[in-house]
Structure 1
Amino acid sequence: MALSPFHLAIPVYDLATARNFYGQIFGLSEGRSSTQWVDFDFYGHQLVIHEHPKTTTQEHAHTNPVDGHDVPVPHFGIVLSWNEWEDLAERLKGFNTQFVIEPYIRFKGQVGEQATMFLLDPCGNALEFKAFKDMGQLFAK
């Protein structure tokens, strides 16, 4: 089954800083934009950053425990190939990114073993990037 691209619009309270973060740090291509929003090609999906006053979750992220780590909620991200994930982790480290959860292997040796990392954009939106050596484990129980 082919996947359809998703569209996700998120609030950012500093459009210029967020635009730089997604464009320069992640290297995402820009699409349409205005003075209040910017479209990005987020690994084949449409991510739109919209200027908006700071939200409660951007100020104080809630967390839930997963595999011994406090995972920020809400968050969004993408499942990459293993090599893409490793390359992104190195790219982010090269930009001295402060991670909420450093890149590591979660559920090691268990069903659903995955590489994961969490970080915040400059406006406090939480992102997760993950990869599976076996994509068949994506929805495994």
Structure 2
Amino acid sequence: MKKLNSFHLAIPVQNLALCREFYGQTLGCAEGRSAEKWVDFNFFGHQLVIHKTSKSQEADKPESNPVDGHDVPIPHFGVVLDWGEWMDLSERLKTWGIHFIIEPYIRFKGETGEQATMFFLDPDGNALEFKAFKEIDQLFAKD
């Protein structure tokens, strides 16, 4: 696999202070630059920017698609971690009392693409998925 470039993602939040704490303290992301209405984070090697907005995320009806017997929220974002990192993060989030949309579990068990996954919301309703593959070379495998 070639060297991956970092992605940049900017998301809206209403409560900048609460989301700043969530991404910085709960998820452990180092803070970068910031201004009155936005904050950069090192989101597992990628640049995530939270931007203060007045639009409520909850005003839109949440959508989902069925995957492996669960309703996966649309849209969502996240990171593919190493298996051990994923296990550590899932335990830390449980300790913090995070409410999971989809509890940490193993998806596609025994199949191509077997992966650990979990879904939860940030304080402003943005859906996140963190996953880890049993065999990372199956990240894009079809069968």
When normalised by structure 2's length, the TM-score is 0.95
Kindly report structure 1 stretches of 4+ aligned residues shifted beyond 6 Å: none
- 1:65-121 per-position Cα deviation (integer Å, ceiling 9, x unaligned): 000000000000000000000000001001000000000000001111100000000
Q: Which residue of 1 aligns with 2:74?
A: 73
Quick one: percent identity of the two aligned structures? 65
Quick one: which amino acid aligns to residue 17 of structure 1? L
Is there any run of 5+ residues in structure 1 with no aligned partner, and where? none
Instruction: Answer yes or no: is the 8 Å Cα contact 2:7–2:46 preserved in 1.
Output: yes
1:1-141 counterparts in 2 under 5 A? 1-56=2-57, 59-141=60-142
Instruction: Answer yes or no: is the 8 Å Cα contact 1:37–1:49 preserved in 2.
Output: yes
Cα shift at 1:55: 4.3
Instruction: Answer yes or no: is the 8 Å Cα contact 1:58–1:123 preserved in 2.
Output: no
- Which shifted more, 11-20 or 48-57? 48-57
Q: Secondary structure at the match of 1:136?
A: helix
What is the Cα-based RMSD across aligned positions, in Å? 1.2
Instruction: Answer yes or no: is the 8 Å Cα contact 2:57–2:125 preserved in 1.
Output: no
Count of residues paired in the alignment:
141
Using the alignment, how far apart are the partners of 1:106 and 1:92 within structure 2? 19
Cα shift at 1:52: 1.0
Is there any run of 5+ residues in structure 2 with no aligned partner, and where? none
- Which shifted more, 52-61 or 79-88? 52-61
Using the alignment, how far apart are the partners of 1:86 and 1:58 within structure 2? 33
